[in-house]
């Protein structure tokens, strides 16, 4: 992993660089805000670790400039500023995580690894599609052939699961576990009732029905997902 460390405290910087290298990571280092900003803007880093109080350009201003320049490198503040307001200010500036000094390296490493595992924003799917059906996960809207479909929260969850598995058979048990978080059979027709309501909204008034019941097995949402 390629890590950018922007830290003006020599002892902290030496410790983090040594331990990260021991863990097998490549660390680029900057001792002040301006040089750190330059390295960050150049890109190529999986995670940035940034001190809040830096000479030349403080961590908050540095982070805001990066986000304004659309640099989306996951960023963790490593700082002595431990107040709630300090944390909120840091996160609102564009940081992804916040760790207060003194710290345990094991926790820092765990947090860095967690940030590195996050998919890039461009890889996060926010719109699902199946045939002429479209679901916007951010706006929480559903449209078919350009026509708005009003769904209740549980119906939205149900359709989302179907669309994420478009073209594949989805069993009643899968729906109970993934939509209702039931890991047992409630011995009710809760799935069938909600599916009936969903189909009435999604397929009624359209020539082509997308949600198909496979008797004794489950359901299939026809169409390609994207």
**Structural domains present in the chain:** 2-122 (3.40.50.2300), 127-221 (1.10.10.10)
Whole-number percent of the chain with pLDDT over 70: 96
Pick the closest to residue 152 from 186, 160, 1 (CA basis). 160
Looking at residue 174, its pLDDT comes to 93
| Backbone torsion region of residue 58, taken as left when φ is above 0, otherwise alpha when ψ lies between -120 and 50, otherwise beta | beta
Is the pLDDT assigned to residue 163 strictly greater than 50? yes
Is the pLDDT assigned to residue 226 strictly greater than 50? no
| Model confidence, pTM | 0.55
Tokens in use for 99?
């760790």
Interval 164-169 mean pLDDT = 90
Looking at residue 225, its pLDDT comes to 41
What digits encode the pLDDT tens for the residues 85-137? 999 999 999 999 999 999 999 999 999 999 998 766 555 568 899 999 999 98
CA angle 151, 194, 168 (to 5 degrees): 90
CB atoms within 10 A of CB 75: 27
Residues 6+ apart with CB under 8 A from 177: 183
Residues 6+ apart with CB under 8 A from 196: none
Is the pLDDT assigned to residue 222 strictly greater than 90? no
Is the bond preceding residue 102 a cis peptide, omega within 30 degrees? yes
Looking at residue 125, its pLDDT comes to 67
What digits encode the pLDDT tens for the residues 66-83? 988 888 899 999 999 989
Cα-based torsion angle of the residue sequence 38, 44, 48, 53 in order, rounded to the nearest 10 degrees: 0
| 98 alpha carbon, distance to own chain's centre | 17
Interval 42-59 mean pLDDT = 94
């Amino acid at each position: 992993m390629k890590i950018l460390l922007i830290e003006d405290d020599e002892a902290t910087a030496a410790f983090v660089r040594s331990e990260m290298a021991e863990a097998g990571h490549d660390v680029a280092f900057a001792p002040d805000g301006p040089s750190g900003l330059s390295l960050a803007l150049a890109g190529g880093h999986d995670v940035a670790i940034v001190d809040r109080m830096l000479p030349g350009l403080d961590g908050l201003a540095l982070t805001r400039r990066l986000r304004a320049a659309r640099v989306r490198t996951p960023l963790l503040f490593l700082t002595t500023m431990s107040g709630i307001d300090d944390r909120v200010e840091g996160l609102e500036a564009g940081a992804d995580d916040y760790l207060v000094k003194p710290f345990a390296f094991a926790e820092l490493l765990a947090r860095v690894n967690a940030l590195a595992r996050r998919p890039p924003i461009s890889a996060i799917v926010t719109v699902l599609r199946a045939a002429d059906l479209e679901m916007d996960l951010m706006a929480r809207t559903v449209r078919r052939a350009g026509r708005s479909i009003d769904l209740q929260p549980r119906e939205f969850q149900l359709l989302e699961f179907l669309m994420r598995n478009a073209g594949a058979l989805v069993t009643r048990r899968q729906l109970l576990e993934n939509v209702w978080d039931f890991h047992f059979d409630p011995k009710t027709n809760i799935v069938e009732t909600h599916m009936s309501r969903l189909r009435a909204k999604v397929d009624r008034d359209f020539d082509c029905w997308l949600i198909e019941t496979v008797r004794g097995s489950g359901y299939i949402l026809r169409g390609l997902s994207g």
